[in-house]
Structure 1
Amino acid sequence: MIVLAIVSLFIGVSDVSLGTLFMPDAAERAQQVMLISRVPRTLALMLAGSSLAIAGMVMQIIVRNRFVEPSTVGTSESAALGFLVVTVFAPAWPMMAKMGVSAGFALAGTALFLRMLKFIPPREVLLVPLVGIMLAGVIGAVTTFFGYRFNMLPSLLAWQMGDFSGVLRGRYELLWFGLGATVLAWFAADRLTVAGMGQDFTTNLGLNYRQVMILGLVIVSVVSAVCLVSVGAIPFLGLIVPNVVSLMVGDNMRITVPWVAVLGAIFVLACDILGRVARYPYEIPIAVVVGVIGSAMFLYLLLRKRPHAA
């Protein structure tokens, strides 16, 4: 992660290198680019990657299904709908208030998905992500309709397409809330792990199942809203990383949280670097790179689990 972060600092159209940072005639411009653009972008990549990966892991524990994450159950789409509503009806509100409304809509969308799961047979493992994808499609269609009616389609496209090219100092700081949610998930790891074993088991151990579920939903909603408002939606990240970590170190959340956070940051840094060098000096949005890699891995996980499910 440290190596990729250092590489990320020195990739870009502007000539920023160790030499230019200390050259008398070019040092001022190079230092400005480094401090205003490159450092905030690298920090945003690491914060978004780790927090979205943790949100995906929490979502999988809550739902008790390995094939779900915020972008496949309607959470991200609900956050986009909330951000659209508050942008249309209260455009003068500060970004913090808009993020709060977006998180509220994300919480409601996730709760709706959990409500729908009660009508799905427990053994239908592969049906759960399919229902989530359909719900996300419906919510996304509603969001697109209102975006069209209010002439907000360009802004809506920017929110739905994760991209770090516009990250500058002063425009990424909300992502630190994602780090706070990650730390909260680590402190609540034992409770969330127990809640993932079912309501009866959780109640028998003396925990309030409803409160633990609400805590998990709040973590997922806040992370989804913060990342959407700051850099846009990044699909499949919260699905791929927790599954890879689970294959390596198991399912104990107390152990897996640091691994998921670090691997999420590594994955996002690597995909962003790939998008920046593939068509240099042009840039491919990270949502496209992660979407291509993530969808392929998603299909692999589905096909890999099918024989065991049978």
Structure 2
Amino acid sequence: MKNKKALFIFTLAPVLLILITFLSILYGTKDISMVTVWNAIFHFDEANIDYQIIRTGRIPRAIAVLLVGAFLAVAGSIMQGITRNYLASPSLMGVNDGSAFVITLAIVYFPGLSNVQMILLSMVGSGMGAGLVFGFGSLIRNGLSPVRLAIIGTVIGTFLSSIATAIAMYHQVSQTISAWYNTKVQAVDMDMLLLGLPFGMIGLILALFSARAITITSLGEDVAIGLGQKTKAIKIISMLAVVCLTGTSVALVGKIAFVGLVIPHITRFIVGVDYRFIIPCSALIGAFFLSLCDLISRYINFPYETPIGVVTSIIGVPFFLYLILKRGGEKA
């Protein structure tokens, strides 16, 4: 491999991911010994409460956080590469909000839907949210510039969230809906996790398949066309990957902001501008980052848990402001 920094990440990341996953399973509100964790995995006894906590709570949570971190980081990488917008991310471009909005409607008006149907609707919402933001951006003069598109995304996202909240309050399901907007990593459904995994994997495969084309597209529309790139086809495939990745993430744990903004920038700084390296490295770094944030969230206000979105925002908001101050309105 020519990229030595990427090779270093591929070598180190599995060790770090195994370590952070082990810590996520071991530590929490209740202290559980390593022996108990081992027995819960290999000698499970339904009558043991600690074994139940490990099997039904901490293991699904640790796996879900790893997957969602990887999915959101890759989704953000794709969006930034395709749009050449350094502020593009699922949380800022209405993708997360669209998913949560459609899930809210589903819970209120179609409460008997299956987990697979919820995942599919979450993906539909992702596409709808992105379509609204980029649609409005294309109608406004210079609306597709990084800062203006981020403002449009924030406004539309807030609008969708407000409508969803109003509907939830009217139908008295606010507590149920709040989990989707404040994240629900502490209550990951194992069945939903198993059902969502194939959809997320499809998104990752599409992303890896498109990686070389995204690198060319990131050079600019004219350059890509001049090199024989079918830009429309690549954008469709790439956005389908984003929809799969983001829709699955929201269906699993609700909205989590800034992972898709911060991690792609860190990854590009380390491995360069080739998306054949950016996409897999973003997945690995994103998985570790969100798992670390999840671990930190358990101890900020111990023994009470702080929503993981608070931790990602503490990191993401200053980073967002830094990008605006540093880059202004220029393209990536």
* 2:255 aligned partner: 233
Q: Could you tell me which amino acid in structure 2 is paired with residue 218 of structure 1?
A: L
Q: Which runs of no fewer than 5 residues in structure 2 stay unpaired?
A: 1-16
Partner of 1:205: 227
Q: Secondary structure at the match of 2:187?
A: coil
**Cα contact 1:80–1:160 (8 A) shared by 2:** yes
- How many Å separate the matches in 2 of 1:101 and 1:237? 22
Q: 2:166 and 2:192 mapped to 1: Cα distance?
A: 28
CA–CA separation in structure 2 for the residues paired with 1:112 and 1:88:
22
Alignment of 1:166-185 (within 5 A): 166-176=187-197, 177-185=199-207
The more displaced of 205-214 and 292-301 is 205-214
Identity value in percent: 27
C-alpha contact (below 8 Å) 1:237/1:264 kept by paired residues: yes
Equivalent residue, structure 1, for 2:96: 76
* Contact 1:44/1:175 (8 A) holds in 2: no
- Answer yes or no: is the 8 Å Cα contact 2:88–2:146 preserved in 1: no
Match of 1:158 among 166, 172, 179: 179
Distance 1:294 1:89, change over 3 A: same
Kindly indicate whether residue 296 of structure 2 is the aligned counterpart of residue 280 of structure 1. no
Identify the residue that residue 9 of structure 1 maps to in structure 2.
25
- Specify every segment of 5 or more residues in structure 1 that has no aligned partner in the other structure, as ranges: none
Task: State whether structure 2 residue 150 is matched by structure 1 residue 114.
Answer: no
1:69 shift after superposition: 0.7
2:22 alignment partner, SS class? helix
Q: How many pairs does the alignment contain?
A: 308
Pair 1:305–1:13, CA change in 2 (3 A): same
Question: How much does 1:85 deviate?
Answer: 2.0
Judged with a 3 Å threshold, the aligned counterparts in structure 2 of structure 1 residues 195 and 32 are, in CA distance, closer, same or farther, namely: same
Answer whether contact 1:174 1:230 (CA < 8 A) is retained.
no
Alignment of 1:9-48 (within 5 A): 9-21=25-37, 28=45, 29=48, 30-48=50-68
Q: CA 1:154/1:51 → structure 2, altered by over 3 Å: closer, same or farther? A: same
The equivalent residue for 1:128 is: 149
Please list the CA deviations of residues 247-290 of structure 1 after superposition, one character each: whole Å capped at 9, or x if unmatched: 22222110111211111011111111111122222211111111
Secondary structure in structure 1 of the residue aligned to 2:325: helix
Per the TM alignment, residue 122 of structure 1 is displaced from its structure 2 partner at its CA by: 7.8
Supply the RMSD in Å over aligned alpha carbons.
2.5
CA distance in 1, matches of 2:202, 2:67: 10
TM-score, structure 2 normalization: 0.84
- Do the aligned partners of residues 76 and 249 (structure 1) sit closer, same or farther apart at CA in structure 2, a change above 3 Å counting? same
Find 1:302's aligned residue among 324, 328, 331. Answer: 324
CA contact (8 A) 2:215 2:275 kept: yes
Task: Extract structure 1 runs of 4+ deviating beyond 6 A.
Answer: none
Q: Is the 2:29–2:298 Cα contact (8 Å) retained in structure 1?
A: no
Which stretch shifts more, 143-152 or 130-139?
Answer: 143-152
